[in-house]
């Protein structure tokens, strides 16, 4: 029986099994603050969608092909970090865990590389935040997601180093459970961005 949302450990992982009830639930509650922030930014973006002020618009600035690639990369990374969590729970094999963490990091890095390319392309075309209300809303929303992904990748590196030094102890297990929650949350936010910001504007 699940004791909190998401992947659960079992009694063989004590004491992390008991600590996870409080810590993972607490992390879910903490994530609600991000839900509010992104919700407000989505609302602002929708409200500003027609505020182009004579500047470039979505059809001038967006490259849907690269955005689609970014979406695939992030969706696959959500699978690989899930596999890392399952490997931790069922196999406890450091080498296999490193493989899944490494794949997740590589996919995240590729996602950010494509996204930075898109940002640079927008700037070259004059799509800077000060150009219009719509662009201000875009630059408040989408790069904030990228910043979250960067922070999650840094957390992933810290967990990998902890595994290397301490093995799969309770702190590593609890950290990976919470990181997995964050990673899946960022995946959901990106689906919203892809649907509302890109498909919604170019459709």
What is the CATH classification number for the domain harbouring 33? Answer: 1.20.120.80
Report whether pLDDT(189) > 50.
yes
- Give residue 3's pLDDT band: very low, low, confident or very high (50, 70, 90): low
- Pick the closest to residue 107 from 37, 35, 156, 56 (CA basis): 156
Q: Which domain holds residue 115?
A: 11-202
Can you give the pTM of this predicted structure? 0.87
**If you ran DSSP here, which 8-state letter would residue 11 be given?**
G
Q: Is residue 154 part of a domain?
A: yes
User: How many domains would you assign to the chain?
Assistant: 1
Q: Which range (18-22, 63-67, 173-177) has the least confidence?
A: 18-22
Q: Which range (32-36, 57-61, 171-175) has the least confidence?
A: 171-175
Q: Is residue 5 part of a domain?
A: no
- Pick the closest to residue 146 from 108, 100, 106 (CA basis): 108
Q: What is the pLDDT of residue 118?
A: 96
Q: Is residue 62 part of a domain?
A: yes
Q: Is residue 142 part of a domain?
A: yes
Q: Is residue 1 part of a domain?
A: no
What is the distance between the alpha carbons of residues 188 and 17, in angstroms, rounded to a whole number?
26
Q: Is residue 3 part of a domain?
A: no
Do residues 81 and 100 touch, judged by C-beta distance below 8 A?
A: yes
- Give residue 9's pLDDT band: very low, low, confident or very high (50, 70, 90): low
Section 101-129 average pLDDT: 96
Q: Higher-confidence residue: 173 or 128?
A: 128
């Amino acid at each position: 029986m699940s004791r909190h949302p998401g992947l659960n450990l079992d009694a063989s992982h004590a004491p992390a099994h008991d600590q996870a009830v409080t810590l993972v639930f607490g992390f879910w509650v903490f994530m609600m603050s991000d839900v509010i922030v992104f919700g407000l930014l989505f609302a602002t973006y929708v409200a500003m969608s027609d505020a182009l002020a004579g500047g470039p618009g979505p059809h001038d600035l967006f490259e849907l092909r690269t955005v689609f690639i970014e979406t695939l990369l992030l969706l696959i990374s959500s699978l690989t970090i899930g596999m890392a969590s399952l490997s931790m729970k069922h196999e406890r094999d450091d080498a296999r865990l490193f493989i899944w963490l490494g794949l997740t990091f590589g996919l995240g890095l590729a996602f950010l590389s494509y996204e930075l390319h898109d940002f640079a392309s927008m700037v070259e075309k004059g799509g800077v935040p000060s150009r219009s209300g719509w662009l201000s809303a875009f630059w408040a929303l989408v790069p904030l997601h990228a910043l979250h992904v960067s922070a999650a990748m840094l957390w992933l590196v810290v967990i990998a180093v902890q595994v290397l030094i301490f093995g799969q102890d309770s702190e590593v297990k609890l950290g990976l459970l919470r990181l997995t929650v964050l990673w899946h949350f960022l995946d959901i936010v990106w689906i919203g961005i892809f649907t509302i910001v890109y498909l919604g504007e170019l459709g």
